[in-house]
A and B are shown apart, each in its own frame.
Chain A
Amino acid sequence: MSEFLSTDFVRLLAATLAATNCAILGNQLVLRREAMLLDALSHSVLPGLVVAFWAVQSTDPIAMLVGGVAAGLASVLLIGVLGQRTPIDSGTRIGSVFSVFFSVGILLFKLILPDKVHISADCVLAGELERLIWIVPAEVSPWSLEGLGHLPGALGVQVAALLASIAMLAALRKELRMMTFDPGFAHTQGFRPHWVQLLLMAWVAIAAVAAFKALGSILVIALFVGPPAAARLISSTERSMLLWSLALALSAAWIGPPLATDGLPRLGLPSVSAAGLLAAVSALPVLGLTCRGPSGPSPGAPSGE
């Protein structure tokens, strides 16, 4: 099998899956003006991942998902409880809770993870898109069932997470739309905003855990917010925003990592972190549109279908 298949192709696949999943969920968060909750969620999954790893002594995807989602939801609930019981503003609550969760995660990471596991702190912080490789024995065709079985396990989790997101967004389309655009009305109609919100957060946590191996816990925020935020600026219906954000996310995924590992070295520059460049590239559309200045409907104008 070619070198392209075993390295670049796998990287591209992982970046594509992460970008797609993050973009479709990110749309909801950008519309609900809750982008900074992502900052909390993506940092907070760490202690859950470490404890799950310690409990089963392997990077079993199910255990990782359960641990990560539990920790992520715990942080969101804690932010909510502090908000109900105290006068602390949301930014301070978010910052307080995620930094404690992340610190506990790093401490557990240092204390309980044996050195023989090759997870370094750098992976937590910046992801290891480069380490995803697909090695198939020479006698097996890469496209046979057995060959596909050698794909990195992280990719399988990402596919499952993407399918789960699509299913959830399709099933709760009406509820999400109503609660995003008119939460008061949704409440009077007997919808349960808290539960739908919690469900959305759970799915965001799943997406963050699925992309963790490739992107770490911070760069993933760029994929969640960058493409949807740019799409928000150039579209006035929910549907066009979704399509635009997908298009922008896919272009970032197909430009960033190849440029980092192949493009720059060909220009005589050192190769750089693929995940880092992916995150940086995904914000370019927003910056470009900011330079263009205000346009489209004013902030107060009704949006959505």
Chain B
Amino acid sequence: MLLEGEPTPLGQGLGDLVEALTLQVGYNSTLVTLAVAALGFGAGFVGAFAMLRQRSLMVDVVAHTTLPGIALAAYVGFLLGLDPRGVPLLSVGALLSGLAAMGLVHQIVKRTRLDPDSAQAVVLSSGFGLGIVLLSGIQDVEGLESAGLEGLLLGQAATLRAIDAYWLAGIAALVLVGVTLLRKEFSLVSFDAQAAGVAGWPVARLDFALQLLIAAVSLAGIFAVGAILVMALIALPAAAARLWTHSVRWLPPLSGAIGAFSAYVGAALTAAYDGLPTGPMIVIVAGAALLVSFVFGRAWGLAGQAARPAPLGLGRSLLRATDSLDHGLPTGSLRRTERRIVQQLERAGLVTQKGSAWYPTESGERALEEHTALAAALGKQP
């Protein structure tokens, strides 16, 4: 909804969008779109491991706390006579303060009894506050006014130059190589850190390597989608991909592809229509991908969920619970999936409801001994 009289950027028809999607909007925009797509792939790829290792929120911490470093780098660069808005210069500042924040969270968790969530929230918000303080402090300095908040926080892909695009694509490539080389180790640590440690793998160092790669890709992402939305580049593609596959081999490339697609379409949309912020557009496309995956995803989507046979292990645990508790398994204590499985067991005549609890029938008690009867009840091949 736009006010009347204003030129409506969305009213220009689809022609511009098609042009942008087919990369016909000029050399610079094309380069930036491709670089952002490459970055989307790198972020999605490493994001899959961030998700498996449950480190996604660290991205948000690193991204928000790059701000003080960026402000200081801009100021120092200005004093030294460098371009205060140059991406490489700001990246160095961003990397240093992001790493410092990561170390701080680590120290807080190690040295105090605060939980990781609180430690992350404290460091994230106060680091961001410090960044706002520094940015507001240097904005009166002549020559630094243009280092605006909005571009840093919400993405400024439209203003990137060719050299910045190469820089971003380079970081994406570097991260991709790093993750590919350490893929096996990251998978192992993600699934069973203890076993990995016992087997002699340096778990702490691998975790640090993963966080370093996450930090690298997130600080490159800041220049494309902005500090607040970098999180989305890591989290959304990984979450969407997880709904399509159970395989750790396919998860990272799939997640990378979803990330690249979202970044590409989002950046093209921004190039085609004036006034749209880059970061939010990319995130909304990725969000749409997650929504589609949530409904249609082959592994976990809603559409296929009813048709999929219930997991055998959960069925056995529930059946055993009805038998082992003195007063049956209370109906009120079950979650949705559990209730569905118990109802399946009831239809197969293995459990029966008395009052507000489930009890096993005779054949149910027999099924606890025999593997095949339970498997048949749950529609599984024994």
Contact = CB atoms under 8 A, between A and B. Distances in A.
A86 B283 contact: no
Nearest to B240: A96
Interface in A85-120: 85-96, 98-100, 102-104, 106-107, 110-112, 114
A268 interface: no
B74 to A, nearest CB: 14
Interface in A260-296: 260, 269-273, 275-280, 282-284, 286-287, 289-290, 293-294, 296
Contacts of B280: 102-104, 106-107
A30 B112 CA distance: 14
Nearest to A296: B113
B150 A290 contact: no
Interface stretch (A4-12, A60-68, A166-174, A219-227): A219-227
B125 A125 contact: no
A37 B136 CA distance: 28
Contacts of B121: 35-36, 38-39, 221, 224-225, 229
B126 A280 contact: yes
B56 A111 contact: no
Contacts of A114: 3
Contacts of B358: none
A85 B129 contact: no
A218 interface: yes
Contact of B133 (A88, A96, A228, A280): A280
B359 to A, nearest CB: 20
Nearest to B58: A91
Chain A contact surface mostly: helix
B236 A294 contact: no
B111 A103 contact: no
B125 A294 contact: no
Given A86-B243, A229-B114, A233-B113, A99 B276 contact: no
Nearest to A230: B122
Contacts of B123: 283
Interface string B211-243: 000000000000000001101101110110011
B182 interface: no
A122 interface: yes
A119 to B, nearest CB: 13
B137 A272 contact: yes
Interface size range of chain B in the complex: 35 or more
A126 B132 CA distance: 7
Interface string B289-313: 0100010000010100100000000
Contacts of A260: 133
A95 B129 contact: no
A44 to B, nearest CB: 12
Interface in B99-118: 104, 107-108, 111-115, 117-118
Contacts of A191: none
A89 B54 contact: yes
A254 interface: no
Contact of A219 (B119, B125, B242, B284): B125
Given A39-B121, A280-B130, A121 B287 contact: no
Contacts of B130: 276, 279-280
Given A106-B280, A110-B276, A260-B133, A87 B336 contact: no
B192 interface: no
Contacts of A222: 122, 125-126, 128-129
24 contacts: A30-B118, A35-B118, A39-B57, A88-B243, A89-B51, A90-B54, A92-B235, A95-B236, A96-B235, A96-B290, A99-B229, A99-B235, A112-B1, A221-B121, A224-B121, A226-B126, A228-B118, A229-B119, A233-B114, A270-B138, A276-B128, A279-B130, A279-B132, A286-B112
> Which 7 pairs from chain A and chain B are nearest by CB?
A279-B129, A283-B126, A276-B132, A99-B232, A95-B235, A100-B287, A222-B125
